[in-house]
């Protein structure tokens, strides 16, 4: 094992990377409220793991979506636990994200030189809410169906482009299979991809600029 490690160390300088991570200065004013971003990240990782597990059983069709969720909950070993963790960690993620935004705002974390950190954080906040909206519809029960209908109907009030936007979101004039397919694609592919882009940017900038000052 020692020789294997030495080969990796010679090529990747693992120890230097580890030293850089562990030697980062933490200001004395940091308290538990500065951990809210990390808790949000933890909830996101739980979401990824449990969401991936559920894709093995979920069927994104209007005729089978609800039945596949019921099957997961009642027939699959620990399926009820996986879905429950996914659901409650989603709520926890949104709550922690909101508290994190308040903490950053109150401590002036949006001020120079951290403007871009704030911008990427706001983008991640929008993505988090989008995860919630799209995921809420996937069971395709009465609550999910009407939630989609209401959310996708909001742009209707916009002059000129309102109706085209509604059709773009729904995939047709009315809510149906095209809508579910689009929301499923957003929830499982597009939103995770965007998050995978902006989250490393957010953390790298925090790493570079350090933690904002106290209240």
Q: DSSP characters for the chain?
A: -HHHHHHHHHHH-HHHHHHHHHT----TT--GGGGHHHHHHHHHHHHHHHHHHHTTT---STTTHHHHHHHHHHTSTTHHHHHHHHHHHHHHHHHHHHHHHHHHHHTTTTSTT-HHHHHHHHHHHHHHHHHHHHHHHTT-SHHHHHHHHHHHHGGGGSTTTHHHHHHHHHSSSSSSHHHHHHHHHIIIIIHHHHHHHHHHHHHHHHHHH------
Q: Which of 134, 137, 129 is nearest to 65 (CA)?
A: 137
Q: Domain 30-209 sits in which CATH superfamily?
A: Cytochrome Bc1 Complex; Chain C (1.20.810.10)
Q: How far is CA 179 from CA 72, 77, 182, in A?
A: 22, 30, 5
**Cβ atoms within 10 Å of 12's Cβ, excluding its own:** 10
Each residue's pLDDT expressed in tens, for the chain with a length of 215 residues: 678 877 877 787 778 777 777 777 777 888 889 999 999 999 999 999 999 999 999 999 999 999 999 999 999 999 999 999 999 999 999 999 999 999 999 988 898 889 999 999 999 999 999 999 999 999 999 999 999 999 999 999 999 899 999 999 999 989 999 999 999 999 999 999 999 999 999 999 988 887 776 65
Rounded to 5 degrees, what angle do the CA atoms 152, 153, 154 make? 95
Q: Model's pTM, two decimal places?
A: 0.88
Give the pLDDT score at 19.
75
Binding site, annotated residues for heme b: 86, 100, 187, 202
Residue 214 has what pLDDT?
67
Question: Is cis: bond before 113, omega within 30 of 0?
Answer: yes
Q: Tell me, what's the pLDDT at 22?
A: 74
Residue 178 is predicted with a pLDDT of: 96
At residue 215, the pLDDT reads 57
Query: CB neighbours of 64 closer than 8 A, spacing ≥ 6?
Result: none
Can you say which residues are annotated as belonging to the binding site? 35, 86, 100, 187, 202
């Amino acid at each position: 094992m020692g020789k294997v490690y030495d080969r990796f160390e010679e090529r990747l300088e693992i120890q230097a990377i580890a030293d850089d991570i562990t030697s980062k200065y933490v200001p004395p004013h940091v308290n538990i409220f500065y951990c809210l971003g990390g808790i949000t990240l933890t909830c996101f990782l739980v979401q990824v793991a449990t969401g991936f597990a559920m894709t093995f059983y979920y069927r994104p069709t209007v005729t089978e979506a609800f039945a596949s969720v019921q099957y997961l909950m009642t027939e699959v070993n620990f399926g009820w636990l996986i879905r429950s963790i996914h659901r409650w960690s989603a709520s926890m993620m949104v709550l922690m994200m909101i508290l994190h935004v308040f903490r950053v705002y109150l401590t002036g974390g949006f001020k120079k030189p951290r403007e871009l950190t704030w911008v990427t954080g706001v983008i991640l906040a929008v993505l988090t809410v989008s995860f919630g909206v799209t995921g809420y519809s996937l069971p395709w029960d009465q609550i999910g169906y009407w939630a989609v209908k209401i959310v996708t109907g909001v742009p209707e009030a916009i002059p000129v482009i309102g109706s085209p936007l509604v059709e773009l979101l729904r995939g047709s004039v009315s809510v149906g299979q095209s809508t579910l397919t689009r929301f499923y694609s957003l929830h499982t592919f597009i939103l995770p991809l965007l998050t995978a882009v902006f989250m490393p940017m957010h953390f790298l900038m925090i790493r570079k600029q350090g933690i904002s000052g106290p209240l």
